[in-house]
Amino acid sequence: MTTVFTRQTTATGASNQNQPLSNAQLDQNFIDLNNNKIEVTDATSANTPLKVVSRDASGNFNAGTITAALSGNATSASTLQTARTINGVSFNGSANIETTEWIHSDRDFPNGTLVVTSIDYSVTNGDPWVLEIRGNAYGSLVPFDIQYQGYIYSDTVINHGGYSNGTSITGLVLFNYTGKLCFWWPNQSYWHGYNIRVYRAQAGRAINLVTGITHEVKPVSITKEVALSANIRQSLHSSNFNSYAPTLAGTGAS
């Protein structure tokens, strides 16, 4: 017969070591000691407080929170332990993300097109930026291909200008709207659609800072407005070079 010893505490609180368990205590708590193994009779595979855990017939058991250093792959998880950045967008697995570098508008905005960015234009001195507009000019036949630069300085935008390699845009302006750098232009023609990107001209990745393109009239509560269309240089192509009349000046001009 196997003898099991334990530490027992007397009624006065003193601790007695190496006191053998009685047969009644052994019968209450353990079975099969003669076969060199211990089985706890009240162990359970369920998630039960203050009970010894035993595996079920399939070798599994239930538990609540387990604190331990684990390795391997989890069967499922709601989020990544550490978020990762994909194409400049933080991703932790909890929701889908949009990683496109262009924001696309709907087609045909008869009231005008408003482009909102996350660039702060409420400040006196801020970011240098670049605006790119591409898209389908429909009946104009030549698509939009515009780049425009500027620099937020002294409560306005300085050193701004751009070029168009296709159909240009008239009435293009920028302004401070709800503290952000925004662009707006009136309806150009029927069924136009735009692909737009605005990024800071600084070190690092050129992340698109456009937060929305909406169909609406020019907002009223705006400040620091700057007209842009007059500073768009038009490149020559087969649809416009016949109407181009250069002015030659300087030595050797004729």
Answer whether residue 84 is part of any domain: no
| 117 and 212 part of one domain | yes
Task: Return the closest-CA partner of residue 171 out of 213, 223, 228.
Answer: 228
| 231 and 108 part of one domain | yes
Spatial neighbors of 188 by CB under 8 A, at least 6 apart, are 137, 140, 167, 169, 170
Output the tens digit of pLDDT for each of the chain's 254 residues. 555 444 455 555 555 555 666 666 555 555 555 565 666 667 787 878 777 788 888 888 888 888 878 787 777 778 888 898 877 678 888 888 776 678 878 888 999 999 999 999 999 999 999 999 999 999 988 999 999 999 999 999 999 999 999 999 999 999 999 999 999 999 999 999 999 999 999 877 788 999 999 999 999 999 999 999 999 999 887 677 777 777 777 776 66
Which residue in this structure is represented by tokens 């993300």? 97
> Are the CB atoms for 176 and 157 separated by under 8 Å?
no
| 59 and 109 part of one domain | no
Number of compact structural domains in the chain: 2
| 136 and 50 part of one domain | no
Question: In which domain, by residue range, is 196 found?
Answer: 103-238
Other CB atoms within a 10 A radius of the CB of residue 106 amount to 11
Answer whether residue 120 is part of any domain: yes
